């Protein structure tokens, strides 16, 4: 069996006893930017959420996750909530920043209670393996498709960046992520020379945390609960509890985590995040795939990324939109595409039976569209096949 990072993603990865902070961990730290940056920008530009709270909450959550789990344990935006909030804000202006904080508070309470009572494990034990594998595969394909869409904004740039990244992934001297980001920054400055002036005008200003739940009204709370938090629950169960637990334990069998532990972690970071002005967060399996794909092997990677985000929050939160312009969308698309490929590869071990393989494929295809519905439909299909109600 080949040893990873020569990248047999179906194999466990060698892991040292403690966290590392070497150049590969630094490269892997940025492997999740393809999901982080677009959602942060959407929250800031469309909903006018204060970037200080977003960056601070993400940064502290990443640092704690890296120190606690000691694997490249990710922290990502909750995608269903982020997409719903951005869409509604753009169309009807119903969703306010306070509603987002309310959604984070409710989400945190739900997962904290499920974790401390042991209910998360009991619920997850009802999920058949073909459904779980299908969710991971579907998420991988969804990431790849979104990456292609992002690269299509400038096909030549995206194609060159993808080809060069694939060629350089075997390089162990300089992490390919550094080269990719450096290339993207150079292209951004060539295409938009005014960025140099914008960067020169960036001001450093120290800010301290504030308590954001004081502005939460009952109307905001109910909007956050009904329109944002509840639709996210099936997605979080599939992607950010079951899938990440399986992914972590497969890649890092010496650092096994439990479903209840991940649920509690999700709850705590969202309760804290909503209090300081953060947005709903989760431990998405795609984030670990991204960190691993670009070299991370320990919790050092999330600690590094978290520290950078905390520094941005404390000193540069007023210039976040300018700073993020240095990462062209096609380059972020390359990161997302390779993250998806890494995730999809992890789900290639199909069950032995035709019915199991069929459930996995159906769930994967549906998950590309909607993970929550894929989860529900897959469970129903698996149940019907086992009872003989459906025959292939």
Q: Count other C-beta atoms under 10 Å from residue 117's C-beta.
A: 12
Name, in order, each residue with C-beta under 8 angstroms of 122's C-beta and a sequence gap of 6 or more. none
Residues 320 and 40 sit within 8 Å (Cβ to Cβ): yes
Place of tokens 């300081």: 276
- What's the pTM? 0.78
Closest CA to 197 of 328, 325, 285, 310: 325
Would you write out the chain's pLDDT as a tens digit for each of its 392 residues? 233 333 444 456 665 568 999 988 998 998 888 778 888 877 887 778 889 999 999 999 999 999 999 999 999 988 767 766 665 554 544 678 888 898 899 999 999 999 999 988 888 777 778 887 887 788 788 888 888 998 998 888 889 989 988 888 776 667 788 888 889 888 888 888 888 888 878 878 788 888 888 878 888 888 888 777 876 777 788 778 888 998 899 899 999 999 999 999 999 999 999 999 999 999 988 889 889 988 899 999 999 999 999 999 999 888 887 888 888 889 888 988 887 887 777 666 676 788 888 988 998 898 887 766 787 888 889 889 888 888 77
Which tokens go with 7?
A: 């990248």
Report pLDDT for 263.
Answer: 94
Instruction: Report how far Cα 177 is from the mean position of its chain's Cα atoms.
Output: 17
**Domain ranges, ordered by start, for the chain:** 23-386
Which tokens go with 146?
A: 């979104």
């Amino acid at each position: 069996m080949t040893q990873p990072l020569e990248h047999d993603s179906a194999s466990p990865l060698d892991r040292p006893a403690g966290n590392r902070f070497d150049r590969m961990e630094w490269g892997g730290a940025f492997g999740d930017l393809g999901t982080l940056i677009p959602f942060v920008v959407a929250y800031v530009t469309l909903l006018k959420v204060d970037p200080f709270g977003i960056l601070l909450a993400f940064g502290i959550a990443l640092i704690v996750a890296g120190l606690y789990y000691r694997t490249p344990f990710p922290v990502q935006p909750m995608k269903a909530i982020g997409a719903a909030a951005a869409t509604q804000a753009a169309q009807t202006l119903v969703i306010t920043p306070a509603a987002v904080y309310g959604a984070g508070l409710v989400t945190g309470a739900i997962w904290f209670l499920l974790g401390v009572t042991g209910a998360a494990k009991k619920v997850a034990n009802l999920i058949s393996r073909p459904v779980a594998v299908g969710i991971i595969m579907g998420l991988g394909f969804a990431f790849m498709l979104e990456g292609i869409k992002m690269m299509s904004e400038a096909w030549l740039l995206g194609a060159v960046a993808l080809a060069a990244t694939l060629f350089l992934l075997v390089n162990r001297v300089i992490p390919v992520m550094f080269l990719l980001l450096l290339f993207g920054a150079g292209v951004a400055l060539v295409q938009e020379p005014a960025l140099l002036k914008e960067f020169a005008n960036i001001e450093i200003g120290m800010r301290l945390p504030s308590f954001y739940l004081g502005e939460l009204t009952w109307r905001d709370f109910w909007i956050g609960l009904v329109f944002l938090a509840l639709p996210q629950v099936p997605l979080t169960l599939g992607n950010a509890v079951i899938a990440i637990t399986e992914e972590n334990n497969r890649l890092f069998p010496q650092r096994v985590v439990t479903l209840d532990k991940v649920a509690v972690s999700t709850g705590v970071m969202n309760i804290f995040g909503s209090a300081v002005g953060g947005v709903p967060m989760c431990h998405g399996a795609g984030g670990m795939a991204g960190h691993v794909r670009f070299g991370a092997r320990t919790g050092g990677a999330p600690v590094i990324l978290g520290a950078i985000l905390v520094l941005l929050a404390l000193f540069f939160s007023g210039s976040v939109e300018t700073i993020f312009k240095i990462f062209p969308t096609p380059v972020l698309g390359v990161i997302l595409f390779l993250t998806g490929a890494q995730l999809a590869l992890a789900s290639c071990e199909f069950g032995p039976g035709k019915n199991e393989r069929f459930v996995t494929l159906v769930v994967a295809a549906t998950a590309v569209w909607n993970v929550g519905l894929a989860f529900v439909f897959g469970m129903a299909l698996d149940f019907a096949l086992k009872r003989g109600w459906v025959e292939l």
